Structure 1
């Protein structure tokens, strides 16, 4: 817990921390704190109402399932099966270079390979390594 919260939640420490405030400043602080409390209560009530509505819908669906002569176990196999996510095809190489007989390609995505970086640092352009037909 932060020091601020330690002070705020401890009676004597809080009293010592606010002793320099005037009565008007204390009342303004109390109003701000009450506003925060009211907002938090409204948020909690909204969440509880949403959960109650959700639970009522679930109960309705379960009742419909039971009325149709099915059980949750009958749906278990359907609910557990999810289609495998499709993998995208790898990007085609956009740049190529041959160093010491080794052919190195790069898609232009991600970190630039060291061999390309050395060549660019020595004054060459990436267009020099562009694979014909790639742009």
Structure 2
């Protein structure tokens, strides 16, 4: 399609592409292009009209909000609106449940969630029990 647009927008290439068309065929193409252009102008006018109507509605709503003594932030406050929008609450981290010493001799803790530390996996493979690592 870009080749077609390139030919259509370049004068000499267009002239070379249509040199085999008769005058009647050229007039027919001209009519069709004129119709397409008119349709496009009408579509753009309708879009501008719709945008103007949208902006008018926004202005009317802003005026109504101001007349009511509210601010746009008041409308965004969902705590008093009773909606079911939930905010993400941060939770406190889980307390450590197990303690172990890693391969470097550093004492560390583990909550029991997520991947089991390598030191505990190694100890369990050697016959230790998980209860040996419980914090007291």
Give the TM-score normalised by structure 1: 0.56
SS of 1:26's equivalent in the other structure is: helix
In the alignment, what sits opposite 1:74?
Answer: 74
Number of residues of Structure 1 aligned to a counterpart in Structure 2: 83
Q: Deviations over 1:94-125 (max 9, x none)?
A: xxxxxxxxxxxxxxxxxxxxxxxxxxxxxxxx
- Flag structure 1 segments of 5+ consecutive residues without an equivalent: 85-135
Cα RMSD between the aligned structures? 2.0
Q: Per the alignment, do residues 82 and 47 of structure 1 end up closer, same or farther by CA in structure 2, a change over 3 Å counting?
A: farther
Whole-angstrom CA distance in 2 between matches of 1:82 and 1:33: 54
Match of 2:89? none
In structure 2, list runs of 5 or more residues that go unmatched: 87-136
1:9-48 alignment runs, 5 A limit: 9-48=9-48
Correspondence for 1:56: 56
SS in 2 for 1:19: coil
TM-score normalised over the length of structure 2: 0.56
